[in-house]
Chains A and B, each alone.
Chain A
């Protein structure tokens, strides 16, 4: 993979590389490098702490979009023993920006859906940068309703800049597809766990993010509008995105405070991309625990609680 690092992570990565080089030299036994390695490792710990404890909202936005960040299929590969992808919405086509299928995980069978971004240029185009058309949302709903038919729990992995803004998307009813998902998913009689893994881009994310338990990865974001979009509307300048990111309160910590999400999944130091296997393991643990928690609820109880949970969202004076 190409060497893509964010500005604020580069000094850390460079320091780690330097340590690695010294180690190699050390194994050759010609020079005494132990003390130097220890010194640099202390420095690295300090540097990591400095950088990652004080991330600005805009830096978190950048991390959530990190080109090395694990995507839905990466998570699926790590957390499932088996996955059979299903395609198509049965009306128009198959949207590669959303994947859906049957999976086995920790002895359970479940339905997994999620946005899918691409890694290489051609993959990015194929996946439309993770921006679904209506057929993607309709495929997700079709497969989720099938989960309900067979009594399978659902895991939804959310990572999209937003629903695709294009002519075909409007012609085929982007708004209708999202609205229908919101209504239908809110009454699905099976447990639904949602994890925002990267970018939670507005309605395009929400359309598959209604669930009994909604988690965010530590460096994921979830926003009513992209910081760039907000900046260009309010500041009339998309370059003010960092100010907008601040104003929008789109970090996991903010959203936990507002009761929008139920929990935060800690990422490995430096972010999920620094140790995707560990990030996936943590996701799996949280999902399995949540399913265990939800197990005692009858289908009616699940739906009642889910609707009640979302009905309480909002802040106003009466």
Chain B
């Protein structure tokens, strides 16, 4: 075979992938294993081979953690506006909102309401990382704050499951940043009322969300291998001009450094929450 020039034979590309019917199989984003969808669903959308936790939608998360159809979302009708008339390079902010509303079938990146968890009354907030990266603008901040205030007013335990790669939402500028104060201040009152708040961190929870309510749980749980931190890994690498160590900013790293109480496998999450609520007197909804 000549070293230079054209090879004397023709390469015929043969796809090694067998054609798969749509929607029957899913490839694991971490180990590449092809998983039968039915198996994935039965396994709480966790890869049976490497235990990679697929990102859940808000409704999947609610179904995972609450009893039957006990979840009743607050009907607040809150909708985002475009106070900055934000001018980005492509598409307006309202267009992006509409796109993600269609994609996720959600009005906004957070869904909050009353629910029962193994019979115990709770207030539950969930962010959906598919909706503008789960970022917090005025509406997400207001929804989370109202959920906290509802829990305080009704003496209920509060659980917030965070999934936000975006932190504070750029398109609403400083109005977004101020939601960090709003949610944290509401938690100060909930805390003052001696009510429990359990923060559950999922992949990914970063920046403004992690630097406000998500970090303020009495107990903080994390799903395995979730990316959790303040500054995104890419920005850190660019700043310090070096590669980040393996496992940096993952749940296990936070556990090791003392910022997470427990790393909990998804299949054990509901029972762990129930167990914690038992300790805090969650059944009566009041300190006992």
Contacts and interface: CB of A to CB of B under 8 A. Distances in A.
A314 B235 contact: no
Contacts, number: 193
B114 to A, nearest CB: 19
Interface in B228-246: 229-231, 235-236, 239-240, 244-245
B216 A180 contact: yes
A214 B281 CA distance: 40
Contacts of B212: 178-179, 182
Interface in B46-95: 76-81, 83-84, 86-89
A89 to B, nearest CB: 15
Contacts of B139: 314, 316
Interface stretch (B12-20, B175-183, B272-280): B175-183
Most buried by A among B76, B173, B208: B173
Contacts of B89: 234-235, 240, 243
B249 interface: yes
A314 B141 CA distance: 8
B178 A314 contact: yes
Contacts of B181: 182, 186, 206, 210, 310, 313
Interface residues of B, number: 64
B168 A310 contact: no
A172 interface: yes
B219 to A, nearest CB: 14
Contacts of B244: 167
Contacts of B39: none
A165 B206 CA distance: 12
Contact of B174 (A180, A246, A260): A260
A174 B244 CA distance: 17
B211 A178 contact: yes
Given A179-B210, A314-B142, A224 B185 contact: no
A307 B186 CA distance: 8
A183 B191 contact: yes
Contacts of A180: 215-216
Q: Which of A173, A184, A210 has the most CB of B within 10 A?
A: A173
Contact of B168 (A224, A240, A258): A224
A306 to B, nearest CB: 8
Interface in B159-182: 167-170, 172-182
B111 interface: no
A13 B170 CA distance: 36
Contacts of B187: 183
A318 B214 CA distance: 25
A252 B79 CA distance: 27
Interface string A133-170: 00000000000000000000000000000010111011
Interface in A202-260: 202-203, 206-207, 210, 222-225, 229-230, 233-235, 240, 243, 246-250, 255, 258, 260
A176 interface: yes
B188 interface: yes
A249 B174 CA distance: 8
B259 interface: yes
B174 A170 contact: no
A52 B214 CA distance: 42
A175 interface: yes
B213 interface: yes
A248 B182 contact: no
A176 B231 contact: no
A34 interface: no
B189 interface: yes
A230 B88 CA distance: 10
Nearest to B199: A179
B81 A315 contact: yes
A90 interface: no
Given A310-B182, A316-B139, A250 B188 contact: no
A179 B179 contact: no
B283 interface: no
A298 to B, nearest CB: 17
Contacts of A184: 188
A260 B182 CA distance: 12
Contacts of B214: 175, 179
Nearest to B192: A187
26 contacts: A166-B239, A169-B231, A170-B236, A174-B230, A175-B210, A175-B215, A178-B180, A182-B181, A183-B187, A184-B188, A187-B188, A187-B192, A202-B208, A224-B170, A230-B170, A243-B89, A247-B88, A250-B173, A250-B174, A313-B178, A314-B137, A315-B83, A315-B138, A316-B80, A317-B77, A318-B76
Interface of B: 76-81, 83-84, 86-89, 137-139, 141-142, 145, 167-170, 172-182, 184-189, 191-192, 207-208, 210-216, 229-231, 235-236, 239-240, 244-245, 248-249, 257-259
